[in-house]
Structure 1
């Protein structure tokens, strides 16, 4: 299988981890040699309810027995998609009422950018340095990391940059700006949270000049930060919110939500202003609906903040310089890229799955399922600390 993996399936790096997975359940992944691994990554924040959550699995099975794909997006009435978007509206602040379902967070970013230009009649998009919004051409155009973009230029023009949390740069948002797109918490940059009412100041500036505020909640959304969406911590409402990852409980989905009047602009001038074949797929929508119901009806959101406290209380070590993030979106910062890579790789050998962040080489990702238990957190942290002890001894 490993030979076929490298021969026939495209990889994204020359050194993939190449674990051959047998099955996964709860907070654990099992390889084909029957070794189990405690999952502190959750499919890069996607498996919000862990692996094989019964509510999600049952919803998928029930929908599979009824029908799969039947028609391109937005033409037929499919109960799982309608119920999902209605429940989202009930949990989002007004006027965020109408949702366009897509196949991924990146695709939702594309739709949000198009809609902002359509709604304002302007072209300029302002994004943040070290931002990450996906890897399609439009999403890459608003990525704030030139090293990953230069090989694919020319990209979409009229994109300008501001520095996250630097309010003195907000004057760069003007009446020429169609939209400002920001991650509520900068993910690839190292889980950077907004400070000093930064998002509120961005919101106010956008309102002053008639620009739309797009918040990328693809990673922090769906309970990971202790609220359904990260922006709910900051007393603001964006014009467009983009979601994905944990939305599907492990299934591929994304969405963007805005007010009804704005969203309806995609219906004409031109018609089919944004179109997808498989967006809103009924099986995927059923999984997302079950995920949203479980997150909003259980205590997993509130518990994520208590679990954050537990992680912070346990992960104290000379090689841990800082822990960034909120809830179960955390990043351990080590003194060097080498220490980070050694820790991630050795922890996997010891049975704990950790991962890197895109643009911050000193960061170790900790984004476990929201359903992870305190006992599992303690078990994983013990292993992390023992590995860091080994690395510290090697350095000395």
Structure 2
């Protein structure tokens, strides 16, 4: 199968991990030799309830027996999508009440950018250096990392970049600004949190100049930081909220949410302002609904903060310079990219899955399922410490 993988399936890098997968359950992934790997990545934050969670699987099976795709998004009333968007509204602050379901996070970013331009009649977009919002052309335009996008220019015009957490840069927000788009916690940059009320100050500046604030919660959202959405930690309610990844419970999804007044703009002048065939797919919406119900009705969110403290207690080592992030969205910062690579690759050999961050080569990602047990955390952290101890420094 490995030779066919490289021959027939397009690759994203020249050296993928290329583990041959047999099955997965709970906090473990198994290869075709039946070797178990403890998962500290959760599909890059996309499987918050772990693998093969019975409530998610049952929801998918029950929906599959009823119907799959029946019509393009928004035309027919389909219970899974209606119930999912209703539950999101229940758990979001006013005026975030109407949600557009998409196929992926990057498509949701596209929809959010379009909505901001439609609502304001402006073209200016402000994003942050080292930001990552997806890889389609519009999302790439607001990616603050030139090395990853220079080969694909020209991209969207009128995009200005500012430094995250730099209050002086907020002067770039003017009456020409349609929107400011920020990650609530910068993911690819190294899990960088807002400090000194930064997001709240961005919110006030946007209010002053009539710009919309888009917060990208594709990684921090759906309970990973100990609250349903990361912005709840920072006293900052966006005009447009974007989510994805964990919302699907292991199925592909994206969503952007705004007020009814804003969202209704996409249905007229012009009508069909954003369209998608498979957005809100009933199978995926059923999976997402089951996931969101479990996270909001259980104690997984407060436990995420307790598990964070356990991880911080266990991962103390001279080669760990700091641990960034919140809840179960954590990054170990090591002295060099070589050390980070060694930790990730040797840990996999020892049965622990870790991963990289896109723009911070010295970081090691720790984003396990929210359902991971304390014993599993202790086991995984023990492997990390053992690998670090094997590195000469």
TM-score (norm 1): 0.99
Provide the residue aligned with 1:323 in structure 2.
323
Q: State the 1:384 CA deviation.
A: 0.5
| 1:140 and 2:140 matched | yes
Could you tell me how far 1:268 is from its partner in structure 2?
1.0
**1:53 matched residue in structure 2:** 53
Q: Secondary structure at the match of 2:93?
A: coil
Q: How far apart in 1 are the matches of 2:304 and 2:327?
A: 5
Q: Which residue pairs with 2:233 in the alignment? A: 233
Q: Per-residue CA shift, 1:150-173, capped at 9, x if unaligned?
A: 000000100001100001111110
After superposition, residues 211-226 of structure 1 pair within 5 angstroms as: 211-226=211-226
Q: How far apart are the structure 1 equivalents of 2:249 and 2:86?
A: 18
For 2:190 and 2:235, the matched residues in 1 are separated by 23
Name segments (4+ residues, structure 1) moved above 2 Å: none
1:189 is aligned to 189
- Counterpart of 1:303? 303
Distance in 2 between residues matched to 1:138 and 1:234, nearest whole Å:
27
* 2:94 match: 94
Instruction: Indicate the residue corresponding to 2:167 in structure 1.
Output: 167
Q: 2:129 — aligned with what?
A: 129
Matches within 5 A, 1:248-259: 248-259=248-259
> 2:228 is paired with a residue of what secondary structure?
coil
C-alpha deviations, 1:181-238, integer Å up to 9, x for none? 0000000000000000000000000000000000000000000000000000111210
The residue aligned with 1:149 is: 149
Aligned residues: 393
Matched residues in 1 for 2:63 and 2:304: separation? Answer: 30
Q: How does 1:1-396 map to 2 (within 5 A)?
A: 1-391=1-391, 394-395=392-393
SS in 1 for 2:256: strand
CA shift, 1:247, in A, is 0.3
State the alpha-carbon separation in 2 of the partners of residues 104 and 222 from structure 1: 15
CA distance in 1, matches of 2:135, 2:169: 26
Partners of 2:236 and 2:65 in 1: CA distance: 41
For residues 100 and 313 of structure 1, what CA distance do their matches in structure 2 show? 40
Distance 2:235 2:356 in 1: 31
Secondary structure, counterpart of 1:313 in structure 2: helix
User: What 5-or-longer segments of structure 2 have no aligned partner?
Assistant: none
What SS does the corresponding residue of 1:186 show, helix, strand or coil? coil
Structure 1 position 146, deviation (Å):
0.3
List gaps (5 residues or longer) in structure 1. Answer: none
**Deviation readout 1:329-361 (Å, 9 max, x if unpaired):** 000000000000011000000000000000000
Q: Could you report, residue by residue, the CA deviation over 1:333-392 in whole angstroms, capped at 9, with x for unpaired residues?
A: 00000000011000000000000000000000000000000000000000110010001x
C-alpha distance in 2 between matches for 1:234 and 1:359 = 24
